[in-house]
Structure 1
Amino acid sequence: MRGFGLAFFIVFLLVGCSKSQELKVEQQEYYKKSSLPCSDHRCTEVSISIPFVVEPKGKIADSINGTLFSKVAEIISFEELPSLDNGYNSIADSFVKSYDDVKRDFPQEGAPWEANVKGKVIMQKTNLFSIELDHYVFSGGAHGYRGIQVYHFDPRTGKQYSIDDLLVDKVGFSKLVEKRLREKWDIAAGVPINSTGLMFENDVFALPLNIFIYPDKVVAYYNVYEIASYADGPTEIVFTNDEVQPFMTVFE
């Protein structure tokens, strides 16, 4: 009986620890509009919708929230090092202030600016917590830029995973992605990867910066300009989980 009681206590502890690591997330919304007059009913504005880890409080939440904040700041802010202590409003304020300064100095400056960031949780399991950031920014010029990025975390520690962390067989996965990419772009095996208009550095295939892991699929995603022109748009290659399971650590 004493052994049974000890075993039960250990199981209870393990279950308790597992539950304690479950992340609770709230979607937070931020909006800022320039006080300067609008143009043709279009105003300079910023909209941010971001998942924010609220429990458990401590280093795990701080690590994930801090990483996401810095990524959004890189996309929108004109300040070098905005602080999470000042919140996402400081990022929105920076973008609008930059437009206002330009507009006051150059009244004939063209269309109003725009920045939108929408984040959402796309995967949450024991060893993986993934957030997708879909963003569009226009700050002058011929057109804006839209991109989609993903950030993977270990929910047990708050540490951000690199692509290498996600892959148990990077070489095998790279070969799989390249094979499907060549099929998509009609590039025969053995010929240079850039032969039909792609723009890989030094004509050498490379994995995308973003690999999205969803409950039912995995997507290798090249944003605009990553390997092709703006006119060509982004390139995505979709795999079933069964296809990539042998190559990825998160399916172990």
Structure 2
Amino acid sequence: MCLKKSYLIFFLFFTFFACKKENKTSFSNITISTEKNDLVEVNIPKANGDENISKKINSTIKELIISALHIGNPDDVASKSIEESIDAFNKEYTDFVTDFPDTVPEWEAQIDGEVMFQSPEIISLAFTSYKFTGGAHGNLLISLLNFNAQTGNLIENSELFNDIESFKTLANTYFDKAIEDKNTLFEPTKFQLPENMGYGEEGVVLLYNTYEIAPYSTGLIEFVIPFEDAKPFLVFNSL
């Protein structure tokens, strides 16, 4: 009886890790365009592997791209696919040129994505979106998305840490080292975690987009907290 029980434990142990290995998500790079497209370039990673996991990840990516290409009120997004959004962006430009034929430079939009980090527990993706629709300069935005590698669910920033206030204290010390002149900030004496955080190869990446804490001239602000320092506060293993 004991021998049979040992075999059963071994079988369950082996099955658990075999299933976990089968759930590994891989990514392929894809380019999306349409026949009517002259202005938009989209190069993004596509999740492959377990259908439920990859479907959730790809759906979140799709929503991000659709939102990035939308012109106008963000609450009025009507596109159901990236292709629809690409055509809608081109049509917005065509309509604008019809109304203002002598004053409009050519619009453009480019979105590139990459896998920043991947472990059995967490997947971090980065998306760089540049959109120019006239004016003095275009709009550059970087978005970091974190996914539970076992479920495909999007991880909110607050769910990355077991003690976010302690992590914030740690991050503040690295922030101070990264900022040469705090007078360039909107609120020099007030530290806040950025909207975009994720895992990178060297540690936890913290990124502030343009206008988030400083004027456009300051540009992006980015720094990394090594895993060895951040580890006590991380919910997801970096190995």
TM-score under structure 2 length normalisation: 0.89
Matched, 1:206 2:192: yes
Equivalences for residues 75-154 of structure 1 within 5 A: 75-78=68-71, 80-83=77-80, 87-154=81-148
Deviation at 1:184, TM superposition (A): 3.3
Amino acid paired to 1:238: V
Deviation at 1:34, TM superposition (A): 6.3
Matched, 1:243 2:237: no
Contact conserved, 2:174 with 2:225, CA < 8 A, in 1?
Answer: no
Among 19, 24, 33, the alignment partner of 2:21 is 19
Q: Distance in 1 between matches of 2:4 and 2:157?
A: 46
Q: Distance in 1 between matches of 2:178 and 2:200?
A: 21
SS at match of 2:184: coil
Aligned to 1:221: 207
Among 180, 184, 187, the alignment partner of 1:197 is 184
Equivalences for residues 34-113 of structure 1 within 5 A: 45-58=39-52, 60-78=53-71, 80-83=77-80, 87-113=81-107
Deviation at 1:112, TM superposition (A): 0.6
- 1:84-104 alpha-carbon deviations (Å, 9 max, x no partner): xxx422121111111011111
Q: Distance in 2 between matches of 1:92 and 1:179?
A: 42
Deviation at 1:205, TM superposition (A): 2.0
SS at match of 1:218: strand
1:24 to 1:181, Cα distance in 2 relative to 1, 3 A: closer
SS at match of 1:93: helix
Contact conserved, 1:200 with 1:206, CA < 8 A, in 2?
Answer: no
Contact conserved, 1:133 with 1:149, CA < 8 A, in 2?
Answer: yes
SS at match of 1:96: helix
SS at match of 1:17: helix
- 1:146-169 alpha-carbon deviations (Å, 9 max, x no partner): 121110011211111011110112
Query: Which blocks of at least 5 consecutive residues in structure 2 are unaligned?
Result: none
- 1:185-243 alpha-carbon deviations (Å, 9 max, x no partner): 357xxxxxxx6131249x63210011131122222111110001110111112221112
SS at match of 2:135: coil
SS at match of 1:137: strand
